[in-house]
Structure 1
Amino acid sequence: MATVHRHGGMVCTDHTLDVPLDHSRPDGPSISLFAREVVAAGHEHRDLPRLLWLQGGPGGRAERPNAAGAWLKRALKEYRVVLMDQRGTGRSTPADRHTLAVHPSPGATAEYLAHFRADAIVRDAELLRGFLVGDRPWTVLGQSFGGFCALTYLSHAPHGLDQVFITGGLPTLTGHADDVYRAAYRRTARHNELFFARYPDDRELARRIAAHLGSHDVRMPSGERLSARRFQSLGIGLGTSSGFDALHYLLESAFVAGPAGPRLSDAFLHSAQATLSFAPRPLYAVLHEPIYAQGGRATAWSAHRVREEFPEFDADGDVPFRFTGEMIYPWQFDEDPALVPLREAAHLLAARSDWPALYDLNRLAGNRVPVAAAVYFDDMFVDREQSLETAEVVRGLRPWITNTHAHDGVRADAAVLDRLIAMARGEV
Structure 2
Amino acid sequence: MDTSRYRLDGHDVLEHRLAVPLDHADPGGETIQLFAREIVRDGNAGKPYLVWFQGGPGGRGDRPAQLTGWVHRALRDYRVVLLDQRGTGNSSPADALTVTARGDAAAQAAYLAHFRANAIVADAELLRAELTGGEPWAALGQSYGGFVITAYLSAAPQGLREALITAGLPGLSTPAEQVYRLTYAKTARRNAQYFARYPDDQRRLREVAQHLAGTEELLPSGERLSPRRLRQVGIQLGADRGFDALHYLLEEPFVTVNGTRRLTRAFLADAGAILSYAGRELYAVLHETIYAQRQATHWAAQRVRSEFATLAEDADPAWPATPYYLTGEHIYPWQLREDPALAPLADAADLLAAKEDFPALYDARALAHNEVPVAAAIYVDDMFVPFELSMETARSIRGLRPWITNDYQHDGIRTDGEHILDRLIALARR
Per the shorter chain, which TM-score range?
over 0.9
1:10/1:193 CA distance change after superposition, 3 Å? farther
Query: What secondary structure sits across from 1:290 in the alignment?
Result: helix
User: What 5-or-longer segments of structure 1 have no aligned partner?
Assistant: none
2:146 aligns to what?
A: 147
Deviations along 1:113-168, whole A, 9 cap, x unmatched? 00000000000000110111121000000100000000000000000000000000
Matches within 5 A, 1:78-89: 78-89=77-88
Alignment check: 8 A CA contact 1:8 1:66 kept = no
Alignment check: 8 A CA contact 2:38 2:81 kept = yes
Q: How much has 1:48 moved relative to structure 2?
A: 0.9
Deviations along 1:171-203, whole A, 9 cap, x unmatched? 100110001000000000000011111111101
Q: How much has 1:10 moved relative to structure 2?
A: 3.4
Counterpart Cα distance in 2 of 1:211 and 1:418: 48
Residue identity matched to 1:321: Y
> Considering only aligned residues, what root-mean-square deviation do their CA atoms show, in Å?
1.1
2:307 aligns to what?
A: 309
2:3 aligns to what?
A: 2
Alignment check: 8 A CA contact 1:9 1:67 kept = no
Q: How much has 1:212 moved relative to structure 2?
A: 0.9
1:419 aligns to what?
A: 423
Matches within 5 A, 1:151-230: 151-230=150-229
Q: Is 1:331 aligned with 2:334?
A: yes
Deviations along 1:214-255, whole A, 9 cap, x unmatched? 111111122211111111000101111111111111111311
Residue identity matched to 2:235: I
Q: Is 1:348 aligned with 2:351?
A: yes
Deviations along 1:336-372, whole A, 9 cap, x unmatched? 0111110111000000111111001110000000000
Counterpart Cα distance in 2 of 1:301 and 1:9: 48
Counterpart Cα distance in 1 of 2:25 and 2:259: 62
Counterpart Cα distance in 1 of 2:424 and 2:140: 10
Q: How much has 1:9 moved relative to structure 2?
A: 4.2
Q: How much has 1:290 moved relative to structure 2?
A: 0.5
2:296 aligns to what?
A: 298
Counterpart Cα distance in 2 of 1:172 and 1:130: 29
Counterpart Cα distance in 1 of 2:289 and 2:100: 21
Residue identity matched to 1:249: Y
Counterpart Cα distance in 1 of 2:51 and 2:195: 38
Residue identity matched to 2:304: V
1:371 aligns to what?
A: 374
Alignment check: 8 A CA contact 2:147 2:169 kept = yes
2:39 aligns to what?
A: 38
1:55 aligns to what?
A: 54
1:19 aligns to what?
A: 20
Counterpart Cα distance in 2 of 1:113 and 1:159: 28
Residue identity matched to 1:422: A
Deviating more after overlay: 239-248 vs 311-320? 311-320
Q: Count the aligned residue pairs.
A: 423
Counterpart Cα distance in 1 of 2:70 and 2:109: 35
Alignment check: 8 A CA contact 1:185 1:310 kept = yes
Alignment check: 8 A CA contact 2:221 2:276 kept = no
Deviating more after overlay: 239-248 vs 1-10? 1-10
Query: What secondary structure sits across from 1:141 in the alignment?
Result: strand
Residue identity matched to 1:346: A
Deviating more after overlay: 212-221 vs 300-309? 212-221
Pick one of 378, 383, 386 that aligns with 1:380: 383
1:289 aligns to what?
A: 288
Counterpart Cα distance in 1 of 2:10 and 2:352: 44
TM-score, length-normalised on structure 2? Answer: 0.97
Residue identity matched to 1:208: E
Query: What secondary structure sits across from 2:323 in the alignment?
Result: coil
Counterpart Cα distance in 1 of 2:427 and 2:346: 44
Q: How much has 1:279 moved relative to structure 2?
A: 1.0
Counterpart Cα distance in 2 of 1:175 and 1:314: 23
1:404 aligns to what?
A: 407
Query: What secondary structure sits across from 1:275 in the alignment?
Result: helix
Counterpart Cα distance in 2 of 1:85 and 1:282: 15
Q: How much has 1:420 moved relative to structure 2?
A: 0.5
Q: Is 1:391 aligned with 2:399?
A: no
Alignment check: 8 A CA contact 1:214 1:227 kept = yes
Counterpart Cα distance in 1 of 2:259 and 2:289: 46
Residue identity matched to 2:390: S
Counterpart Cα distance in 2 of 1:330 and 1:189: 21
Residue identity matched to 1:33: L
Alignment check: 8 A CA contact 2:221 2:340 kept = no
Deviating more after overlay: 214-223 vs 81-90? 214-223
Counterpart Cα distance in 2 of 1:43 and 1:8: 13
Query: What secondary structure sits across from 1:257 in the alignment?
Result: strand
Query: What secondary structure sits across from 1:77 in the alignment?
Result: helix
Identical pairs, percent:
56
1:8/1:189 CA distance change after superposition, 3 Å? farther
Counterpart Cα distance in 2 of 1:322 and 1:401: 28
Residue identity matched to 1:303: A
Counterpart Cα distance in 1 of 2:90 and 2:253: 35
Q: How much has 1:59 moved relative to structure 2?
A: 0.4
2:98 aligns to what?
A: 99
Counterpart Cα distance in 2 of 1:328 and 1:39: 38
Query: What secondary structure sits across from 2:206 in the alignment?
Result: helix
